[in-house]
Amino acid sequence: MRKYLLKRVFYMILTLFLVATITFFLMKLMPGTPYSNQQKMTAQQIQIMNEQYGLNKPMWLQYLIYLGGMLHGDFGVSFQFSNQPVSYLIASRIGASAQLGFQAMIFGVVLGIIIGAVAAVHRNTWVDTLCTILSIIGKSVPNFVLAVLLQFYIALKLGWFPIADWGGFSYTVLPTIALGVGPLAETARFIRTGMVDVLNSDYIELAKAKGLSRYGIVYHHALRNSLIPLVTLIGPYTVALMTGSMVIENIFSIPGIGEQFVKSILTNDYPTIMGVTMLFSAGLVAVILITDIIYGIIDPRIRLSGSGD
Amino acid sequence: MEEKIKLSPESFEALPKAEELDNEKIAAPSLTFVQDAWRRLKMNKGALISLFVIILMMVVAFGSTPFINHDSLVKSAPQYANLPAKIPGVPINGFNGKLKVSGEWVDEYKQNNVPSNKYFVLGTDYLGHSLAQRIIYGTKISLIVALVATFFDLTLGVAYGITSGWRGGRVDNIMQRIIEVISSIPSLVIVVLMLVVLKPGMTSIIAAIAISSWTTMARMIRAETLQLKSQEYVLAARTLGETPWKIAWKHLVPNLSSIIIIQTMYTIPTAIFFEAFLSFIGIGISSPQTSLGVLLNDGQKNFQFLPYQMWYPAIVLCILMIAFNLLGDGLRDAFDPKTRR
């Protein structure tokens, strides 16, 4: 176990190092300058600005400074927001994104489990068909289309929820739904497939023969056993939520990381792009590692590869 | 101990001769792998309808090339701007040139003095372009992006997977570690970085999607190749001195075809989604070039007053996605009846 963990952590650091390196050199290749009106600036002004942001140093030195700074959480200063450190920008915005992502994950997974379980229990009836159709639609309708529709018809027309911005819980409802529908559809399909398998197995037959109630069978035997593989989906869900947050936060004007990321791309704000890239990568790598460990703990049949040899 | 059962020949009854012979006969014609899969796919109504929808959309999108080109689409006609849909002979509000303006249906065509013989089946956008033409053209661009990206993803993934699985040992180990590292970078990050560095446009989107999505394919192909490698026919081919190239092409690829087809069917909708997503947030394809994502982005700006401008491209995009997803599910069931639920 310990050897396995060390190996995984090593790969994790390697991945992050690669991402940092690739990002850094790609950013240097980027077209455009960070200054919005460079034509109007004198050569001297540009030089002063370059010195201030460390852009006059040789590339390798910039790279080392960048790597060194990152080790203690310093991602440089944003070009877009004057003199604001990127780490501060990220720190002040991560709360909204994290809350939204967490809520969407809970919403999608919990509702997905319920829908998938109901579909599996009522297999090959109209309930099952309805659930399958819903999950196909949920998987196929892009979340940003759904977000615009929700925003217009539920927030603007019906006025049930605030249209945009970030305040209390009511502001989070629509973005959460829009973000969570993807994971919901995926979970429902996954749980249904898993449960149909489990419901056909011998131990369910035995449980029925023992005279357990239908609820008892579904809850204690079928659902629990089909929940375990769901852990493996947390990684892909995290990716989906990160991707989704970029566009959902934009539509609902939520001051989060995704919105910041889009803004920084459109304004050539290199340090912020690099900072958010590193944050996303680190987040995903950590989530994958944690889910692998959890999976090994809750399902003893899974032997972590590398722990045996 | 042993009890003798007395049996007389009378207790038995001879079967009629004909029936006996019938038992040995195989009634169903023998089917090849593809025929068998096609037979199963035909039973799946959803997948079949999806297949026809996809073929129809492709024919319309690519068949429009002589009629709708980029030059005619960038020409704006401000006098026809923001007209709603009008189909002659359809008196339903919303399709007769009327638009709901503060609760009342107003004939926009009359108000803007549009000649009575001029009409737009799906209305026009803010520059007076026919929305129907733009949607068909945009669908074509979206499909091209998705298909080309999937093609590269497929070639790269299959080649990598087969090489890794076939060579095995140290090479395999290194190649798998590389995949492990690449796949733990969010594909979003790869796509965004590629788009930031390359000039936004079709080529960079295709490259970005292809680069970020081949790892899944490579992994599945490798796992299957490892199994196929130990099959007798591969061993026979090796013993006869076939080159690895020929074995891969003649024995491995045909046997991997079901995985390749299924995985491709799931990659295409992902690519369509990614293209629309990137164009929607403004870092993908941008005006005057058109794609479904661009149309959605344009439509979203006027959604409050001219909802049809977003609804139509959104419906087309959703139908396309649903069709590909359903066909993917159908193909998976058809090629691999074991996983059928």
Q: How far is B120 from chain A (nearest CA, A)?
A: 24
Residues of chain A under the 50 pLDDT cut:
305-309
Determine the pLDDT at residue B185. Answer: 76
Q: How far is A148 from chain B (nearest CA, A)?
A: 7
Residue of chain A whose Cα is closest to the Cα of B272: A142
Express each pLDDT in B12-30 by its tens digit: 887 776 665 666 666 777 7
E strands, chain A, in order = none
Q: In B, which residues are within 8 Å of A18 by CB distance? A: 181, 185
Is the pLDDT confidence value at B310 over 50?
yes
Contact (Cβ atoms closer than 8 angstroms) between residue B294 and residue B282:
no
**Nearest CB to B318: which of A141, A144, A262?**
A141
* Pairwise pLDDT comparison (A270 vs B170), residue with the higher score: B170
Distance between CA atoms of residues B166 and B230, nearest Å: 10
Residues of B with CB under 8 A from a CB of A: 177, 180-181, 184-189, 192-193, 195-197, 199, 269, 273, 276-277, 280-283, 296, 300, 303-304, 307, 310, 314, 317-318, 321-322, 325-326, 329, 341
Residue of chain A whose Cα is closest to the Cα of B268: A140
The answer to whether the CB atoms of B269 and A140 lie below 8 A apart is yes
Q: How far is A169 from chain B (nearest CA, A)?
A: 25
Distance between CA atoms of residues A5 and A12, nearest Å: 10
Cβ-Cβ contacts under 8 Å between A and B: the total is: 108
Partnered with residue B244 across adjacent β-strands are none
Long-range CB pairs of A162-171, under 8 A, 24+ apart, other chains included: A164/A251, A164/A252, A164/A253, A164/A254, A165/A252, A165/A253, A165/A254, A166/A96, A166/A253, A166/A254, A166/A255, A171/A252, A171/A254
**Nearest CB to A247: which of B277, B321, B325?**
B277
| Chain B contact present for A156, CB below 8 A | yes
Q: In A, which residues are within 8 Å of B282 by CB distance? A: 262, 266
SS3 B183: helix
Distance between CA atoms of residues B118 and B128, nearest Å: 12
Q: How many CB atoms lie within 10 A of CB B140?
A: 22
Distance between CA atoms of residues B325 and A182, nearest Å: 13
| Chain B contact present for A107, CB below 8 A | no
**Nearest CB to A145: which of B197, B314, B341?**
B314
| Chain B contact present for A106, CB below 8 A | no
Distance between CA atoms of residues A100 and A245, nearest Å: 8
* Pairwise pLDDT comparison (B336 vs A126), residue with the higher score: A126
Q: Stretch B177-203: mean pLDDT, rounded?
A: 77
Q: Integer distance in angstroms from the first to the last C-alpha of chain A?
A: 10
Express each pLDDT in B37-80 by its tens digit: 788 888 888 888 888 988 998 888 888 777 777 666 666 666 66
Among residues 38-97 of chain A, which lie with CB inside 8 Å of chain B? none
The answer to whether the CB atoms of A11 and B181 lie below 8 A apart is yes
Express each pLDDT in A51-106 by its tens digit: 776 677 777 788 888 788 777 777 777 777 767 787 888 888 888 888 888 888 89
Q: Stretch B323-336: mean pLDDT, rounded?
A: 84
The answer to whether the CB atoms of B184 and A288 lie below 8 A apart is yes
Distance of CA B84 to the CA centre of its chain: 31
Determine the pLDDT at residue B47. Answer: 85
The answer to whether the CB atoms of A14 and B193 lie below 8 A apart is no
SS3 B30: coil
Determine the pLDDT at residue A302. Answer: 60
Q: Find which of A148, A276, A279 to mutate to test the B interface (most B CBs within 10 Å of its CB).
A: A148
The answer to whether the CB atoms of B296 and A18 lie below 8 A apart is no
**Nearest CB to B185: which of A15, A26, A247?**
A15
Q: How many CB atoms lie within 10 A of CB A81?
A: 17
Q: Which domains, from first to last, does chain A contain?
A: 94-306 (1.10.3720.10)
Q: In A, which residues are within 8 Å of B195 by CB distance? A: 265
The answer to whether the CB atoms of A11 and B273 lie below 8 A apart is no
Express each pLDDT in B74-120 by its tens digit: 666 666 666 666 666 666 666 666 766 666 666 766 666 666 666 66
Determine the pLDDT at residue A127. Answer: 87
Rounded alpha-carbon distances, angstroms, from residue B133 to B74, B145, B212, B276, B311? 11, 18, 31, 18, 15
**Nearest CB to B325: which of A140, A156, A261?**
A140
Is the pLDDT confidence value at B278 over 70?
yes
Enter the tokens of residue A77. Answer: 């200063």
Distance between CA atoms of residues B226 and B234, nearest Å: 11
The answer to whether the CB atoms of A284 and B185 lie below 8 A apart is yes
Helix ranges (DSSP H) in B75-130? 108-111
Determine the pLDDT at residue A308. Answer: 37
Q: Which residues of B11-45 are buried (b: 16+ CB within 10 A; e: fewer)?
A: eeeeeeeeeeeeeeeeeeeeeeeeeebeebbeebe
**Nearest CB to A277: which of B189, B303, B310?**
B189
The answer to whether the CB atoms of A277 and B192 lie below 8 A apart is yes
Q: In A, which residues are within 8 Å of B277 by CB distance? A: 142, 144, 243, 247
Contact (Cβ atoms closer than 8 angstroms) between residue A237 and residue A108:
yes
Residue of chain A whose Cα is closest to the Cα of B281: A247
Distance between CA atoms of residues A260 and A162, nearest Å: 21
The answer to whether the CB atoms of B192 and A261 lie below 8 A apart is yes
* Pairwise pLDDT comparison (B287 vs A243), residue with the higher score: A243
Q: Binning pLDDT at 50, 70 and 90, where does residue B288 land?
A: confident
Q: Binning pLDDT at 50, 70 and 90, where does residue B341 land?
A: very low
Q: How far is B132 from chain A (nearest CA, A)?
A: 19
Distance between CA atoms of residues B3 and A258, nearest Å: 85
DSSP result, A4-61:
HHHHHHHHHHHHHHHHHHHHHHHHHH-SS-S-TTGGGS-HHHHHHHHHHHTTTS-HHH
Tokens 């077209």 correspond to A31
- Choose among A108, A98, A144, A23: nearest CA to A257: A98
The answer to whether the CB atoms of B281 and A136 lie below 8 A apart is no
- Choose among A204, A166, A197: nearest CA to B339: A197
Residue of chain B whose Cα is closest to the Cα of A269: B196
Express each pLDDT in B220-238 by its tens digit: 888 888 888 888 888 888 8
Residues in chain B: 341
Determine the pLDDT at residue B74. Answer: 66
Contacts of B217 (CB under 8 A, 6+ apart): B153, B154, B156, B157, B158, B161, B260, B263, B267
Mean pLDDT, chain B, rounded, equals: 79
